[in-house]
């Protein structure tokens, strides 16, 4: 890429890193219509750690403050699919938690109560 393409006139906002976080930030700012958003990534987008992550989006969390963030993530996935016209190939599956102690059984009971 030429130095001219990276001039201050090429973008109003530059995001360094084209992984999950960088692309999410770029998409959200683009939706706010802040101007031209540029993502700089030295490799293919989402090809480093992001491409290897399990990306488990468990809805029920012991830290209940995280639950609205997970709900927003699911809403954003739906919105991104609608805006882009592309399926993100999200596989929604369940999970199995096994308790090996009474204490862990109690933690899981509390998690079930939160989820309900």
Closest Cα to residue 14, out of 31, 33, 32, 35?
A: 35
How confident is the model over 77-88, as pLDDT tens digits? 899 999 989 888
pTM above 0.85, yes or no: no
DSSP code of residue 90: -
- Across residues 97-111, what is the average pLDDT? 93
């Amino acid at each position: 890429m030429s130095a001219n393409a990276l001039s201050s006139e090429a973008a109003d906002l530059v995001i360094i890193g084209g992984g999950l976080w960088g692309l999410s930030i770029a998409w959200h700012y683009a939706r706010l219509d802040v101007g031209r958003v540029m993502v700089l990534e030295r490799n293919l987008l989402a090809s480093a750690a992001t491409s290897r992550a399990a990306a488990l989006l468990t809805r029920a969390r012991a830290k209940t403050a995280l639950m609205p963030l997970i709900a927003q993530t699911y809403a954003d996935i739906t919105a991104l699919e609608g805006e882009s016209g592309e399926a993100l190939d999200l596989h929604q599956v369940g999970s199995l938690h096994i308790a090996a102690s009474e204490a862990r059984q109690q933690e899981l009971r509390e998690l079930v109560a939160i989820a309900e």
